[in-house]
Amino acid sequence: MISRVIGFEKGFLLSEGNHFETYEVMLPKLNKLDLVVKNLAVSINPVDTKLRQSGKGTPQPHVLGFDSVGIVTQLGSDVKNFEVGDRVLFAGTTKRFGSYSENQVVDSRIVAKLPGGISTDEAAALPLTFITAYEMLFEKMELIPEEGQNNGTILIINGAGGVGSLATQLAKWAGLTVITTASRKESKEWSEKMGADHVIDHHKDLTKQLRKIGHPSLPYILILHSTDRYFEEMSDLLEPFGHLGSIVGANKDVDLTKLKNKSGSFDWEYMFAKTDYDYNIASQGAILALLVQLMNEKKIKSTLTKIIPGFSPDVFYQAHQFIEEDKMIGKLVVHY
C-alpha cells in the first residue's frame, strides 16, 4: 500500500526555510499484530522539533509524528480486539514512519479504541503526554493508579507544559496535593485550570516559596524542565525515601550521592523505552484505554488549544514554528 507522507531528507532549522516535502512511500508489510490506520488528526510535540533539527529517526525521508487519532483500515492476522472502521488513538514509536502520513502501520498493542462522544482533535492532543505522566507517577514513583488512593504532595516543575498538565490531572485524580511552577500569568492560570492546588514562580527561590506554603520537603518531585538547573535544590527538598523524577536529559553528570543518605530514588522516564526495547509494549495500550475511560468520565481534560487544518509541507512548517516559539500553552493539533 502506498501512502502520502510529509517528511524531509536531512535535519534543518526553521531559519533555513521550509524543507518539509510531500512523498509517496510504500508502507511496510503488516506483522501479525499490526494495524493500518488512516490518520485523521495528529498533535505536534517538542520531540518532533528536536528530531527535525537533528535529522534523526526513521530512514529517509524522515517522517515524524507520534500522537494520532485515526480509523483502522486493515488488520494483521493475529489482531483480535480491533475491527476495520474502529476509531483509535496511539502515540507511535521511533522505529517506524510517524503520523505525518495519510496512512500508517502501527502495533495494535499500543493502540486503544476511541468511542463516540470524544472529539478527535481533543483526543489527538493527549496520548504521548498522558503515557509519559502515567508511567512516571504509577510505574516509576509507584503510586497506586486508582482514584483517591494516594496521600502526600507532589511538586511539578513546569506544570503548564504538556506532560505537566497531564501529570497534574493524574496526580489530583490519584489523591495527591499538587504544587506546580509557572512564571507567566497565562501559565499560572492554565496550571490552576489543570487542577494545581498551589502555583509558585520558578523565577524566584523555590525553597522559600515552598516553606511559606507549609511544604519544606516533599515525597514526590517531578522535573519537566532543565534537570541540570533543578537537580541539586530538588535533592535537598526531597523527603527520605522520596522519589525525584525527570523526563529531561542532563547536560552534565548529576550527583546521585545526594540522595543516598535519604534512601531517595531518582527516576528517569522516556515514553519510547518500551517500544525501543520491546518491553511490556501492551501496557501502553492499556494506559490509553484508561485515558479514554477518564475522558468519558470527564476526569481528564484535553490540553488542546490550537488546531491547524490541512495536510501539506506548509501546514507542518507552520506548526513547528508555533512550537518553537515556546509561547504556546496547551497542545497544537493538525487536522487532516
146-269 is classed in which CATH architecture? Answer: 3-Layer(aba) Sandwich (3.40)
pLDDT band at 328 (very low <50, low <70, confident <90, very high): confident
pLDDT at position 167 is 98
pLDDT at 326 over 80: no
> CA of 101: how far to CAs of 127, 179, 294, in Å?
17, 38, 28
Per-residue pLDDT tens over the stretch 30-81: 999 999 999 999 999 999 999 999 987 667 799 999 999 999 999 999 999 9
CB 113 within 8 A of CB 85: no
Radius of gyration for the alpha carbons in the chain, expressed in angstroms and rounded: 20
pLDDT at 252 over 80: yes
Stretch 289-317: mean pLDDT: 98
Per-residue pLDDT tens over the stretch 273-295: 999 999 999 999 999 999 999 99
pLDDT at position 327 is 76
Per-residue pLDDT tens over the stretch 224-239: 999 999 999 999 999 9
pLDDT at position 58 is 65
Length of the chain: 336
Stretch 201-224: mean pLDDT: 97
Stretch 124-142: mean pLDDT: 98
pLDDT at position 56 is 74
Q: How far apart are CA 162 and CA 145, in angstroms?
A: 20
Stretch 197-223: mean pLDDT: 97
Beta pairing partners, 112: 89
Tell me which residue of 259, 254, 257 sits closest to 244, measured CA to CA. Answer: 259
Domain ranges of the chain: 2-127+272-335, 146-269
Per-residue pLDDT tens over the stretch 83-92: 999 999 999 9
Q: Which helix (H) or strand (E) holds 47?
A: helix 46-54
pLDDT at position 57 is 64
pLDDT band at 153 (very low <50, low <70, confident <90, very high): very high
pLDDT band at 19 (very low <50, low <70, confident <90, very high): very high
- What percentage of the chain reaches a pLDDT higher than 90? 96
pTM comes to 0.97
Q: Do domains 2-127+272-335 and 146-269 have the same CATH topology?
A: no
pLDDT at position 279 is 98
Per-residue pLDDT tens over the stretch 84-125: 999 999 999 999 999 999 999 999 999 999 999 999 999 999
Q: What is the CATH number of domain 2-127+272-335?
A: 3.90.180.10
